[in-house]
Amino acid sequence: MSEQPAGPKTVLLRRGEVHSPADPFATAMVVERGQVAWVGSEGAADAFADGVDEVIDLDGALVTPAFTDAHVHITATGLALTGLDLSGAPTLEAALALVRDFAAARPADRVLLGHGWDAARWPGGRPPTRAELDTATGGRPLYLSRADVHSAVVSTALLDLVPAGVSRADAPLTADDHHAVREAALGALAPAQRAEAQRTALAHAASLGIGSVHECGGPQISSEDDFTGLLKLAGELPGPRVVGYWAERDVDKARELGAAGAAGDLFVDGALGSHTACLHQPYADAPHTGTVYLDADAVAEHVVACTEAGLQAGFHAIGDAAVTSVVEGVRTAAEKVGLARVRAARHRVEHAEMLTPDTVAAFAELGLIASVQPAFDAIWGGEDGMYVRRLGAGRARTLNPYAALLRAGVPLAFGSDSPVTPLDPWGTVRAAAFHRTPEHRVSVRAAFTAHTRGGWRAIGRDDAGVLVPGAPADYAVWHTGDLIVQAPDDRLARWSTDPRSGTPGLPDLTPGTGLPVCLRTVVGGRTVFVRPGE
């Protein structure tokens, strides 16, 4: 495969497998003016060969819609890719050694940034003390976010940069204290360092077949300059596309910044790992129910304001009490402005991990989008995972009920919450299809749809995320093995593999098998990634 020039042109792709509901046996596709123009069989492709600018011989490769990651933090992702990654540190001592080496290697950085530590995985279960961090950095400012990005440990020099009133206790900082130190750390970044991180993250996304990302920014997460700078940068690049959400209860501000909604990580609560998700009953390993940032009345007020302004509202809600507050608030808003208007707005709930049958039904009733991250279950689920430690086995088994959401008709949009979990679209599809709790599993096809078309539907676009004539030419080309149909129900799986079913296949994602390798990513007909050697 040869790389295309910058501008979109008419291209025929042939001799491959094209994943399209327009033709489940398609082997060829024509792209024209940034849109899919035709999908069909190899024999019919001959008629197009002389009238296109380029013919790409797929040599058996698979073509799918490009993925949409519906929840990312681009600058933080880029900083994790270019900065200190502690996710693989097996012990506290190893983590401190990595901090020392990183500080020595980055003498010019005004602030040292790292991510991914999880003391629960270390012998002894203890996070680093401030004195240990001061020694490891030689007294320089350091910010290290925990794996869930809802708490952090910092050095004394960074604390000296924040306003008075932030806790100086020798323990991980959470809630408002954490927001203050994160703001100070990111505020110390040089503009060039921030732009480098953004370009790195977008290029990495493209290399994984991701054509669109939903940036979840906000005043407690990044900064206005970071958000507008990212949208400007994305507008200058051929891709991936960036849809921005601004997490502030100020509709005018969100519109001014160019956001698609006053949504994303508008915190109703925190996270389970940091004991800040808001629960109806106390944690199994802590004598409290977490942290609440917004109540149902505040949710209702925000949903009304956004609905009347024609913007999406959205909330970060993880604990069952937080999700209940969102549902109650949205229902109150629907009583004020009308259920049809609320449903049409496609308001979002990010994460939505602790759901009950009642809240699942309410999501369906209110037309809420569930913007969820299956990798959370892959990392924190299971009999020995963090969910069980925080909640006990009974409650842990109820988390992330994707099958129940789909049965109720709730639209799903899959994402990573990167850098909380890495950008990994096929791994995300696998995590949903092979959920650690079997009753929550969905078919590979349903999971794939949630990670492609689902992200487009979450921004109000029902005409995209699928390879049919007229849709945006956002697609990826993959090297993969045989295509099959995988579903939780064996009877359905057997029928779906029968050619008479007309069900297009997808890669075998059985745990332990290799994931597809991205060869090319195209956004709006423009190539944004080609694997070296292709």
Burial class (CB in 10 A: 0-12, 13-18, 19+), 4: buried
What's the pTM value of the predicted model, to 2 decimals? 0.89
Quick one: pLDDT band at residue 249, thresholds 50, 70, 90?
very high
Quick one: pLDDT band at residue 7, thresholds 50, 70, 90?
low
* Residue 498 clears pLDDT 80, i.e. is over it: no
Instruction: Kindly report the number of other CB atoms within 10 A of residue 393's CB atom.
Output: 11
CATH topology of domain 74-191: Diaminopimelate Epimerase; Chain A, domain 1 (3.10.310)
- Mean pLDDT, range 337-359, rounded to an integer: 98
| CA 49 to chain centroid | 38
Q: According to the 3-state scheme, what is the secondary structure of 103-118?
A: HHHCCCCCCEEEEEEC
Looking up tokens 């501000």 gives: 253
**pLDDT of the residue at 167:** 84
In sequence order, the β-bridge partners of residue 267 are 316
* Residue 45 clears pLDDT 60, i.e. is over it: yes
Count of residues for the chain? 534
Query: Closest by alpha carbon to 54, among 90, 128, 121, 4?
Result: 4
Looking up tokens 């020099």 gives: 157
Domains of the chain, residue spans: 10-66+467-480+516-530, 74-191, 264-459
Q: Which CATH architecture has domain 264-459?
A: Alpha-Beta Barrel (3.20)
User: Does this chain's domain 10-66+467-480+516-530 share its CATH topology with 74-191?
Assistant: no
Inter-residue contact 220 to 180 (CB < 8 Å)? no
What CATH superfamily is the domain 10-66+467-480+516-530? Urease, subunit C, domain 1 (2.30.40.10)
* Residue 3 clears pLDDT 70, i.e. is over it: no
The 10s digit of each residue's pLDDT in 126-170 is 999 999 999 999 999 999 999 887 789 999 999 998 887 888 888
